Amino acid sequence: MTQQSPEMIHSLAYGAYPARCLQVVSEIGVADRIDDEPVSVGKLAAACGAAPGALDRVLRLLASYGVFEERDGGYAHTDASRVLRADHPMSARPLLRLMGLPLHLDSLALLRHTVMTGEPAIEVLQSGGLWAYLQERPGDSEIFDRAMTSKAAADVPAVVGAYDFSPFGVVADIGGGRGHLLRGILDAVPDAEGVLFDQPGVIEALGFPDHPRLALRAGDFFDEVPAADAYVLMHVLHNWDDERTARILATIRKAAAPGAALLVIENVLPEERPAPAALTMDVIMLALTRGRERTEGELSALLDAAGFRFTGMTETSGTMRIAEARAV
């Protein structure tokens, strides 16, 4: 045992507290009350309706990690804390608000149940699991949607910058939500056309296409998807177990002509030494869904069984990896 081992264990043991501090300051909007100059904790507390002494201790902890800076009798921004502002182009505030909901906190408290049974903790809280939970709680569902939109906005530049979409005339974004990725692709490839495919409720909420080369299609990706030259699935397959993932892939293969591309964009795990962030997401999926973050080999086997040939992996500047396959 190295001398650092106890410190590492202690850091992990207490890790929920800094995370919860981040969630709380995001919920009450502390970062939005700081501009270019330090602000006293008294003014911050008054603006947020917080207790000054308690807020000071929470901000002091975050500042020790580089989130905010204690300076000139108050707290100032660092590059990290600016990302907590609601108006930051890559704002993490929606994601932190999501992580602070009972959805996550209660599921985390029930993780022992998941480890002992293999069943998602969320199913103890709500019959029907995650999607039923959100359907019955519109406020939480809105926070969830905002978090996913915010995360997509951060991921899209990394994906579009890493992969050449120009060979494809028609790109279909399957389960694409509000279409941030597809709009990014269309902006990068002036000759391409896009089809945004999602559940009827999602498509109806969007109204009319807001891009001249974007078409909206509603449906169920377990049953049917539109024809396209390339299909993109970002943050989709990891929500589902192998059986349902196989059904999604089979549906796409039925619509795809031989040679059509399929791009799976998510935390595809390398076979050796996956990053802790990706493995953390895998445990989140364990607690909240029946899905998982898959290794390259696991994903390749599912693609092969569905009639696709895995052709390679593209790294991005962010956490996402792009697995490419071709219909055979």
Q: Which residues are catalytic?
A: 238
Number of Cα atoms under 13 Å in the Cβ half of residue 19: 14
Phi, psi of 214 (to 5 degrees): -115, 130
As a whole number of angstroms, the distance between CA 231 and CA 252 comes to: 8
Q: Which two tokens stand for residue 6?
A: 């106890």
Closest CA to 174 of 287, 240, 263, 67: 263
Would you list the DSSP string of 29-65?
Answer: TSGGG--SS-B-HHHHHHHHT--HHHHHHHHHHHHHT
CB 157 within 8 A of CB 208: no
As a whole number of angstroms, the distance between CA 106 and CA 125 comes to: 8
